Amino acid sequence: MEIVELLKSPWPWYIAGPLIGLTVPVLLLLGNKSFGISSSLRHICAAVIPAGLPFFKYNWRKEVWNLFFVAGIAVGGFVGNFWLGNPDAIVVADDTRQTLAALGVQDFSGLMPSDIFAVSNVFTLKGLIFFVLGGFLVGFGTRYAGGCTSGHAIMGLSNLQWPSLVATVSFMIGGFACTHVLLPFFLNLVK
């Protein structure tokens, strides 16, 4: 199989998962660095916001490697999307499709349903709920938990950190609650 075709096809969990997990020892060996994405937003704000907020007053230059790491993820996502994208249509499980269709979601052509996440929804009640309220809850939860899902579930659990186990279990419970309770409630609200 040609290397480009191999890169274009979806990788099974038993290949992709260990590759993601290997970032932990690589970062530790390259300088005792912790894996996590949410901290990069703090570093960016500390670098570009001239306000005297105590939360952003620290030596962000020590963590500049994290900004390059996140930039690499963004560049990799761009390359993956435009040059190595899977040509096959995204497959949504029949049960999920039926459940979402009953809630009014009809477009399953992309990674995210455009019925919910279209740019045209930004200045609507649906946009307020899903973009603004959802973004606030993600940001608040990340700050409250002291990190994001990647930092806790990948880095924290591999280091056997009890707070990361609590945070990861809480992320999962919150995800299930949002999927099965809040999503149907809000989709029915904005019909």
pTM for this model (two decimals)? 0.75
Contacts of 57 (CB under 8 A, 6+ apart): 46
Question: Which residue matches tokens 């690499």?
Answer: 72
Domain ranges of the chain: 1-88, 92-191
Q: Mean pLDDT throughout 182-189?
A: 88
Q: How many CB atoms are closer than 10 A to CB 82?
A: 8
Given this model, what pLDDT does residue 1 score?
56
Q: For residue 69, which of 106, 101, 30 has the smallest C-alpha distance? A: 30
Name the amino acid, one letter, at 158: S
Question: Considering just the CA atoms, what is the radius of gyration of the chain in Å?
Answer: 19
Asked whether 164 and 153 are in contact (CB, 8 A), the reply is yes
What would the two tokens of residue 120 be? 């045209």
The tens digit of pLDDT for each residue in 165-178 reads 999 999 999 989 98
Least Cα distance to 36 among 28, 184, 114, 95 occurs for 28
List strand residue ranges (DSSP E) for the chain, in order.
Answer: none
Tens digit of each residue's pLDDT (9 = 90 or more) over 28-81: 888 888 877 888 888 888 888 877 788 888 888 888 888 898 899 999 989 988
Work out the angle at residue 147's Cα, subtended by the Cα atoms of residues 143 and 153, and round it to the nearest 5 degrees. 145
Q: Give the pLDDT confidence score for residue 40 in this predicted structure.
A: 85
- Where on the phi/psi map is residue 50: left (φ > 0), alpha (ψ -120 to 50), or beta? alpha
DSSP label at residue 125? H
